[in-house]
Copies of this chain bind each other. A is one copy, B any other.
Amino acid sequence: MQTGPKNLITDVAGLRVGNAQDIHVKSGATVLVADQPFTCGVTVMGGAPGTRETDLLAPDKTVQKVDALTLSGGSAFGLDASSGVADALRTQGRGFQVGDQNVPIVPGAILFDLLNGGNKDWSDNPYKALGSAALDAASDTFDLGSFGAGTGCTLASRKGGLGSASVLLPSGHTVGALVAVNALGDASPDGTHLWAAPWEIGDEFGGRGIMPQAPTAWPNTKLSAQNTTIAIVATDADLSQAVCTRIATAAHDGMARALVPSHTPMDGDLVFAVSTNAKPLENAASDALWLGHAAATCLARAIARGVWAATPADGDLLPCLK
């Protein structure tokens, strides 16, 4: 298996990602955007999600394409990141056209990082400005680890972070993943090897290999509600919103394989799945199968890359893997 040239979700042509963060708040926001609206579905599997504009992503609802997606820290306060993006896109004339009005469609999901050692004593919610700044920063390259929505992320025993990865399919399609990893569980059973190791391409997250022995104890967790892993998988394959939803469901397997435990009652784990609709399918049935599998493996790798890329900062409560 081969990664795209950047090994980022932006290997899917046309997609751009921007980060913005406040290191004192120890939090931030990440935006995915494109020059044109893109098809989007979502599957929520965690027990404690925080979301905006996800109901309209159901395949039976009218709106099929969105203008941008946000991943944000800040728990429910972080939903304002989408507001900042929507207001900024409005000034650019972007959005769903209704009469002479444009309404930018910006679904978003948040993670809980309010107890991570940052200064949460703000009087004005900072997430609207973070969303807008992340949109301004959007580019085809971006930083992994302790940036954007990954800034304040933690796992049970170490820091989480923002991860991304991509893979090229034999069909000629590209699949990418973007994730803010903030799980109740952990990405490593032993502090050395990563659960995602069977999916590693090259040494993209350290090349530490597969753990040689099964863990014998119950895994580490944090029960503080300081949780939630939120992700986007994307492809240039031409998919309907219904198939995007199915790809989002399949991609959750990558979360299950990279984080243990995953999808708990205290995680708001969800996956958005995006299609830029650029490249036709060769075979609707088998392409959807492989795109789903690629999305799952990409997401597992992106999770490990996010944890691997995390860097220390003042006031951290947990160490970094590296």
Contacts and interface: CB of A to CB of B under 8 A. Distances in A.
**8 closest cross-chain pairs (CB), A and B:** A253-B256, A256-B256, A261-B293, A198-B214, A265-B288, A264-B289, A250-B263, A253-B262
Contact of A198 (B189, B253, B296): B189
A215 B198 contact: yes
B223 A249 contact: no
Given A198-B214, A213-B210, A223-B286, A246 B262 contact: no
Interface string A204-247: 00000111111111110101000000000000000000010010
A321 to B, nearest CB: 19
B285 A266 contact: yes
6 contacts: A1-B217, A209-B213, A219-B293, A253-B261, A261-B293, A264-B293
Copies of this chain present:
2
Nearest to A189: B198
Interface of A: 1, 45, 47, 170, 184, 189, 197-200, 209-219, 221, 223, 243, 246, 249-250, 252-254, 256-257, 260-266, 285-286, 288-290, 292-293, 296
Contacts of A212: 210, 212
B211 A198 contact: yes
Contacts of A290: 218
Contacts of A243: 265
Nearest to A290: B218
B189 A214 contact: no
Interface of A is mostly: loop
B292 A265 contact: yes
A223 B286 CA distance: 7
Contact of A218 (B1, B198, B250, B252): B1
Given A198-B189, A211-B210, A264 B252 contact: no
Contacts of A219: 293
A184 B211 CA distance: 27
Nearest to A197: B214
Contacts of A288: 264-265
B246 A252 contact: no
Contacts of A1: 216-218
Nearest to A293: B261
A237 B261 CA distance: 19
Contacts of A263: 249-250, 252-253, 292
* Interface hub of A198, A200, A216 (most chain B Cβ within 10 A): A198
A261 B257 CA distance: 11
Nearest to A184: B289
Contacts of A265: 243, 246, 285, 288-289, 292
Contacts of A189: 198
A214 B210 contact: yes
Given A198-B215, A256-B296, 20 more contacts: A1-B216, A1-B217, A45-B249, A45-B252, A198-B214, A200-B214, A209-B213, A210-B210, A210-B214, A223-B286, A249-B263, A250-B263, A253-B263, A254-B256, A261-B293, A264-B289, A264-B293, A265-B288, A265-B289, A266-B285
